[in-house]
Amino acid sequence: MAPTGPEHSTTNDRAGRRLILLLADKPYYVRIQNPLSLGDSEPVPDIAVVPGKPEDYREAHPSSALLVIEIADTSLEYDRTVKAGVYASAGIPEYWIVNLVERVVEVYREPTQTGCRSVHLTTVEESISPLFEPNLRIDVKGLLG
């Protein structure tokens, strides 16, 4: 993997901060660049929203997530294939790729052992409601900057 560039880092910080603020009064914990224990794999997503609070994971990393987000520029193909497969086979219900190359957010849902049945591209004019909090509207423009 190529080193993380400044746009990737800034986007990750912005998206993470936005989610932390939006979910501050909810029973979720936003993890930024921390591992998930998914069977044989321990990926480190850019952002993961998990149930509970940080103290719930003092003894072990979460074994699932409600939402996983990867910020992608040079890693775009890897995130679309390898990471999408890892998250889908682990049953992660929702996976977003903040695609810095094409300036869209790719929303992957309905995981199976071989991938996701639903993939939707959202543009900067749109917003996304995560499955775990359907009344929440997250502007794509705010994620992409």
Q: What is the per-residue pLDDT across 79-129, written as a single tens digit (0 to 9) for each?
A: 999 999 999 999 999 999 999 999 999 999 999 998 899 999 999 999 999
For the chain, domains (ranges, CATH) are: 6-144 (3.90.1570.10)
pLDDT surpassing 90 at residue 145: no
pLDDT surpassing 90 at residue 4: no
For the stretch 75-90, what's the b/e string if a residue is b when 16 or more beta carbons lie within 10 angstroms of its beta carbon?
bbeebbeebbbbbbbb
Q: What angle do CA 80, 105, 15 make, to 5 degrees?
A: 110
Do the beta carbons of residue 96 and residue 105 sit within 8 Å? yes
Do the beta carbons of residue 50 and residue 62 sit within 8 Å? yes
Q: What percent of the chain clears pLDDT 70, i.e. is strictly above it?
A: 98
Whether this prediction's pTM lies above 0.75 is answered by: yes
